[in-house]
Amino acid sequence: MPELEMDLSSGIAAFEAKHFAKAMQLLSPLANDGNAEAQYRMAIMFQNGLGCAKNDVAALKWMQASADQGHALAQHGMGFMYLHGECVEKNAQKALQWFRLAAEQGLSGSCMMIGMIYEQGLGVEINTDEAKKWYQLAESKG
């Protein structure tokens, strides 16, 4: 197990240092074994073509796998994908569901996105009171 933890740490370090090909090499086996953090990083690399060819199918596969395991940043990523129609068909209702899951884990950015969705009426009725509530929640978490 310590070897896997070392590979994860090394993979994250390579990702953070923008050595994406190395990160891909280290994180890919861990993602395949079900590691949510590795899956999230793989999704980001495929979504943006970092260290690999841009691949929407792979990006969605890894983001979904990580989000389904409760990874808050991946849940936020799923919300972003659905809100903007990146890698998936645009769907504001699904975006809202994913942002709520991430917000429940304390992500202030997800609270901000929910506030924006209500303020702009994206897939929901415009509700300034609800928007204000989410913006205030974001401030309290930030």
62 & 101 share domain? no
pLDDT of 2 reads 62
Give how far the C-alpha of residue 114 lies from the chain's centroid of Cα atoms, to the nearest Å: 15
Residue with tokens 């740490």: 9
What integer pLDDT is reported at residue 1 of this predicted model?
45
Co-location of 6 and 54 in the same domain? yes
Residues 62 and 103 in one domain: no
The residue from 69, 98, 124 where one domain ends is 69
Number of H helices, E strands in the chain: 8, 0
Whose tokens are 């933890």? That residue is 5
What is the per-residue pLDDT for 118? 97
Closest alpha carbon to 64 in 93, 101, 92, 29: 101
**Number of domains observed in the structure of the chain:** 2
**pLDDT for res 89:** 96
**pLDDT tens series, the chain, 142 aa:** 466 678 899 999 999 999 999 999 999 999 999 999 999 999 999 999 999 999 999 999 999 999 999 999 999 999 999 999 999 999 999 999 999 999 999 999 999 999 999 999 999 999 999 999 999 999 998 7
**What contacts 23, CB < 8 A, 6 or more positions away?**
11, 12, 14, 15, 41, 45, 51
Question: In Å, what is the CA distance from 38 to each residue of 28, 32, 46, 71, 84?
Answer: 7, 9, 12, 11, 24
| 89 and 38 belong to one structural domain | no
- Residues 61 and 79 reside in one and the same domain: no
Phi-psi region of 51 (alpha: psi -120 to 50; beta: other; left: phi over 0): left
Quick one: 83 and 59 in the same domain?
no
What pLDDT is recorded for position 4? 67
Q: What is the CATH number of the domain that holds 99?
A: 1.25.40.10
Which of 37, 69, 101 is the C-terminal boundary of a domain? Answer: 69
What range does the domain containing 59 cover?
Answer: 1-69
pLDDT at 41: 98
